[in-house]
Amino acid sequence: MPTARETILATLHARLSTLPAMALRGEILPERVPAAGILILRDGEPGEPEVTLSPLAYHYRHRAEIEAVVQGVDRDSAFDSLCTSIGAALAADRTLGGLCDWVEAEAPRPVDLPVEGAASLKAAVISVILHYTTADPLA
């Protein structure tokens, strides 16, 4: 049986997979970026939990990361649309079906990356904060 952490990350990946951009998890950036863009979910860090003792519970503020990448002539508009679609997907259910107490994204800090012999990439890492509780840090 998967851990709460894995279930939450898999659910987040499934949510991102409903967007027009290609959604990967833990992969490297492919050589070709699809016209709709690409999203790569990184598992990130659960951080140090707050602990309550009765009953014993570990409250995490897990920071996952989404690498958002677009390429092409109209990359500014495409990047803005991609970020908007991520925000809408998260806002549609801030608890990921009850798995989290709350899910929130931080604003991206985009950068333009030149590519030799091709159109530049516009990319950013979008941190997604997953607030959840488990009975065991390994469960």
Domain residue spans of the chain = 4-134
- Confidence at residue 102, expressed as pLDDT on a 0 to 100 scale: 98
Q: How many CB atoms lie within 10 A of CB 3?
A: 13
For the cut 90, the answer to whether the pLDDT of residue 90 exceeds it is yes
Q: Do the beta carbons of residue 11 and residue 103 sit within 8 Å?
A: no
pLDDT at 119 over 90: no
Buried-state track 78-108, b at ≥16 Cβ within 10 A, e below 16: bbebbbebbeebbeeeeebeebbeebebeeb
Fold exhibited by the domain 4-134 = STM4215-like (3.30.2000)
Please give the average per-residue pLDDT across 47-55, as a whole number. 95
pLDDT value of residue 115:
81
Task: Supply φ then ψ for residue 17, to 5 degrees.
Answer: -70, -15
pLDDT grade for 116, boundaries at 50, 70 and 90? confident
Q: How many CB atoms lie within 10 A of CB 67?
A: 17
State the average pLDDT over residues 54-76: 95
Strand blocks (E) in the chain: 22-25, 38-45, 50-53, 56-71, 102-105, 111-115, 118-134
- What is residue 85's predicted lDDT score, i.e. its pLDDT? 97
pLDDT tens-digit series, residues 16-48: 999 999 999 999 999 889 999 999 999 999 999
Percent of the chain with pLDDT strictly greater than 70: 100
pLDDT, position 39: 98
- pLDDT attached to residue 139: 82
For the residues 84-95, what does the mean pLDDT come to? Answer: 97
